[in-house]
Amino acid sequence: MSSASQHVVVQQQVDGNLNPSADYGVSKFVPINAVTITSETAVWTPAAGKKFRLRGVVLSSHTAAGPIIVRDGTGGTIIAVIPNNAVDSAFEIVFRGTGILSAAANNALTFTGASTEVINGFVYGDEE
Assessment of whether the complete model's pTM goes beyond 0.75:
yes
pLDDT in tens, the chain (128 residues): 333 333 333 333 334 444 455 556 788 989 999 888 888 999 999 999 999 999 999 888 777 677 889 999 999 999 998 887 766 677 788 888 899 999 999 999 999 988 778 888 899 999 99
Q: What is the pLDDT of residue 18?
A: 44
Q: What is the pLDDT of residue 118?
A: 86
Residues 6+ apart with CB under 8 A from 107: 46, 51, 52, 72, 73, 76
- Print the domain residue range for 99: 3-127
Count: domains in the chain? 1
Residue 21 host element (H or E): helix 20-24
CATH number, domain of 16, equals 2.60.120
